[in-house]
């Protein structure tokens, strides 16, 4: 996505007047009290949605505790504080200052740790029987909490750990002993603790650091892997567990600098500290230091500090440049993005009126039939894959898609993917 | 290049400053040398970008980079 955004930045820059410059930062805060998200979307079952948001205890609170403590891995790092919080030199999370409540539907003010927006993107629930049925089966967890991460290891863990935790919630593998007394306050406390020593209260009276709480989540995930297994429901679950454990081991051992190749908040902090040691007259409150904080995530390869480190081989790679490049031109084969992309390419000559998760609307090429537009419905989030489309093009698949039948009484979690 | 030269001279200065471990002191038991090397590698990697950023008007950049709205 960053590569696509960079290409867009370059294209837009070509239209600028002399002297103008477009700066695109992949962060979550401008330093002036404005925050913008790096949202993740996870497909979950409607049943799990109800447990999280209607029953609430313990699922909502366990999810909140996981997310709050995860910033030791998922934070991009930020110089200073915003949104009325006490001054601080450096904190782990870009987003923490703007998390103000446990749950809520809002995303631009009084931001919640867990967002309750209920849009499954399977067509309107009040629409056709088909859309209604899919909305009864699926929901989308709209996660607005996390920072934008540039390090591949941090990104892999941010998405992967959430997949593991949600798979456990799906299966009812929930430990109410991991609930925090005040998860929002915990986010603020832990974000302002780069030494990772701060303890916060759990609901059961224990007091843990973020790393200690993450260890407990990892142990539950490993137990689940051994007893039930993540199987096909979390791709690469073994790799996620292994990297999660290695990361926590290094954080626990205090060898945090060894994680600068994997975690953005460590890399950014070390870059700034190296600069402070190299130049006189600067401190954490200097505008020059905030400048470095901002351009760490600049998409301009000549400007962005992250890209400079990547060029020199100082960051870990989970995927290759070739794989990234390929995915900027070709949608994943196992989601409906495949058919969406195929339609957009195949019908490029038509005028596209609207594109959304679950439909594409085109202006009708022939208005003589009395239609002004034609809409392709892509309701099923697990359908419209390459396999489906290939069969459809060969005439061997039904037009409604290849939705998977859910097995009643199946205790395994549903197949999980990031929604696309 | 100037940044790299400055970084090397800074490293030399640190190496010979009072209290700094010398090569003849034997193996680096406390990891300080390793940490210095890693810090140097960071500055080598991002030194040019950092130098470019700090050669401009940081106050203006920080003031101008502003997002309105957002989620």
pLDDT along chain A (420 residues), means of 10: 93 93 93 93 97 96 98 98 97 98 96 96 88 94 98 98 98 97 98 98 98 98 97 93 98 93 97 94 96 97 95 95 93 94 80 90 69 86 95 77 36 50
Nearest CB among A37, A257, A295 relative to B71 is that of: A37
Burial class (CB in 10 A: 0-12, 13-18, 19+), B31: exposed
Q: DSSP code of A231?
A: G
A123: left (phi over 0), alpha (psi -120 to 50) or beta: left
Set of chain A residues whose Cβ sits within 8 Å of the Cβ of B35: 257
Query: CA of A277 to nearest chain B CA: how many angstroms apart?
Result: 9
* pLDDT computed for residue A288 by the predictor: 97
Estimate to the nearest angstrom the gap between the alpha carbon of A42 and the chain centroid.
9
Look at chain B and count its residues. Answer: 71
Nearest CB among B39, B58, B65 relative to A274 is that of: B39
Set of chain B residues whose Cβ sits within 8 Å of the Cβ of A270: 38-39, 42
Q: Which of B8, B34, B42, B51 to mutate to test the interface with A (most CBs of A within 10 A)?
A: B42
* pLDDT computed for residue B8 by the predictor: 43
Closest Cα in chain A to B52: A303
Instruction: For residue A352, count other CB atoms closer than 10 A to its CB.
Output: 13
Collapse the DSSP code of A143 into the 3-class scheme (helix H, G, I; strand E, B; otherwise coil) and give the result. strand
Strand-pairing partners, residue A75, are none
pLDDT band at B1 (very low <50, low <70, confident <90, very high): very low
* pLDDT computed for residue A420 by the predictor: 57
Set of chain B residues whose Cβ sits within 8 Å of the Cβ of A107: 71
Q: Which of A287, A296, A300 to mutate to test the interface with B (most CBs of B within 10 A)?
A: A287
Q: Of A155, A264, A173, A187, which Cα lies nearest the Cα of A217? A: A173
Decide if A311 and B66 are in contact by the 8 Å CB cutoff: no
Decide if A36 and B67 are in contact by the 8 Å CB cutoff: yes
* pLDDT computed for residue A286 by the predictor: 97
Q: Distance (Å, rounded) from C-alpha A51 to C-alpha B51? A: 52
Set of chain B residues whose Cβ sits within 8 Å of the Cβ of A304: 49
* pLDDT computed for residue B33 by the predictor: 77
- Segment holding A378, helix H or strand E: none
Strand-pairing partners, residue A142, are A41
Query: Tokens 């080598």 correspond to what residue?
Result: B44
Residue A294 CB contacts under 8 Å (≥ 6 apart), including other chains: A25, A27, A30, A31, B61, B62, B65
Number of CB pairs, chain A paired with chain B, less than 8 A apart: 97
**Chain A contact for B46, CB < 8 A?**
yes
Q: Of A334, A418, A344, which Cα lies nearest the Cα of A383? A: A334
Residue A342 CB contacts under 8 Å (≥ 6 apart), including other chains: A389
Pairing of strands A111-115, A99-104: parallel
Closest Cα in chain B to A275: B43
Percent helix, strand, coil in chain A (nearest 5)?
A: 45, 15, 45
**Chain A contact for B37, CB < 8 A?**
no
Q: Where are the alpha helices (DSSP H) in A284-385?
A: 287-295, 305-311, 321-327, 337-346
* pLDDT computed for residue A406 by the predictor: 35
* pLDDT computed for residue A191 by the predictor: 98
Residue A41 CB contacts under 8 Å (≥ 6 apart), including other chains: A140, A141, A142, A143, A418, A419
ipTM over 0.85: no
Per-residue pLDDT tens over the stretch B12-58: 444 333 333 334 444 455 667 777 787 788 888 899 999 999 998 99
Q: Distance (Å, rounded) from C-alpha A298 to C-alpha A15? A: 19
Q: Which of B40, B46, B58 to mutate to test the interface with A (most CBs of A within 10 A)?
A: B46
**Chain A contact for B62, CB < 8 A?**
yes
Tokens of A217: 């989540």
* pLDDT computed for residue A17 by the predictor: 94
* pLDDT computed for residue A419 by the predictor: 60
Q: Where are the alpha helices (DSSP H) in A171-286?
A: 183-191, 210-227, 237-253, 264-278
Give the residue, B8 or A152, on which the prediction is more confident.
Answer: A152
Decide if B61 and A294 are in contact by the 8 Å CB cutoff: yes
Strand-pairing partners, residue A115, are A104
Q: Of A288, A318, A284, which Cα lies nearest the Cα of A149? A: A318
**Chain A contact for B48, CB < 8 A?**
yes
């Amino acid at each position: 996505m960053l590569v696509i955004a960079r290409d867009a930045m370059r294209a837009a820059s070509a239209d600028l007047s002399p002297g103008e410059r477009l700066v695109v930062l992949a962060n979550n805060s401008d330093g002036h009290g404005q925050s913008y998200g790096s949202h993740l979307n996870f497909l979950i079952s409607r049943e799990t949605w109800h447990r999280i948001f209607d029953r609430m205890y313990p699922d909502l609170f366990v999810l909140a505790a996981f997310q709050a403590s995860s910033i030791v891995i998922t934070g991009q790092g930020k110089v200073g504080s915003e949104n009325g919080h006490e001054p601080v030199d450096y904190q782990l999370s870009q987003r923490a200052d703007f998390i103000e409540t446990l749950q809520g539907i809002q995303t631009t003010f009084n931001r919640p740790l867990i967002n309750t927006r209920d849009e499954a993107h399977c067509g309107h629930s009040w629409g056709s029987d088909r859309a209604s049925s899919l909305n009864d089966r699926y929901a989308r967890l709209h996660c607005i909490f996390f920072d934008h991460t540039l390090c591949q290891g941090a990104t892999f863990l941010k998405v992967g750990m959430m997949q593991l935790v949600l798979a456990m919630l799906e299966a009812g593998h929930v430990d109410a002993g991991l609930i925090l007394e005040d998860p929002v306050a915990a986010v603020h406390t832990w974000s302002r603790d780069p030494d990772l020593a701060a303890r916060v209260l759990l609901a059961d009276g224990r007091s843990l650091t973020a790393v200690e709480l993450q260890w407990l989540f990892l142990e539950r995930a490993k137990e689940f892997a051994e007893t039930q297994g993540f199987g096909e429901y979390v791709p690469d679950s073994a790799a996620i567990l292994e990297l999660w454990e290695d990361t926590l081991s290094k954080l626990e051992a205090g060898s945090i600098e060894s994680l600068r190749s994997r975690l953005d908040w460590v890399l950014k902090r070390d870059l700034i500290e190296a600069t402070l040691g190299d130049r006189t007259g600067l401190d954490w409150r200097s505008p020059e230091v905030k400048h470095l904080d901002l351009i760490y995530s600049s998409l301009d390869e000549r400007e962005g500090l992250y890209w400079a480190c990547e060029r020199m081989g100082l960051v870990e790679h989970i995927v290759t440049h070739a794989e990234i490049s390929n995915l900027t031109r070709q949608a994943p084969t196992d989601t409906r993005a495949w058919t969406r992309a195929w339609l957009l390419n195949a019908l490029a000559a038509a005028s596209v009126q609207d594109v959304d998760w679950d439909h594409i609307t085109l202006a009708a090429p022939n208005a003589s039939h009395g239609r002004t537009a034609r809409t392709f419905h892509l309701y099923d989030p697990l359908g419209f894959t390459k396999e489906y489309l290939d069969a459809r093009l060969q005439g061997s698949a039904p037009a409604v898609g290849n939705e998977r039948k859910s097995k009643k009484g199946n205790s395994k979690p549903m197949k999980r993917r990031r929604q696309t | 290049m100037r940044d790299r030269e400055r970084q090397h001279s800074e490293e030399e200065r640190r190496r010979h400053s009072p209290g700094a471990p010398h090569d003849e002191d034997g193996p680096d038991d406390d990891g300080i040398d390793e940490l210095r090397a890693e810090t140097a590698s960071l500055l080598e990697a991002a030194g040019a970008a950092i130098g470019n950023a700090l050669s401009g008007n940081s106050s203006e950049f920080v003031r101008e980079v502003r997002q309105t709205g957002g989620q």
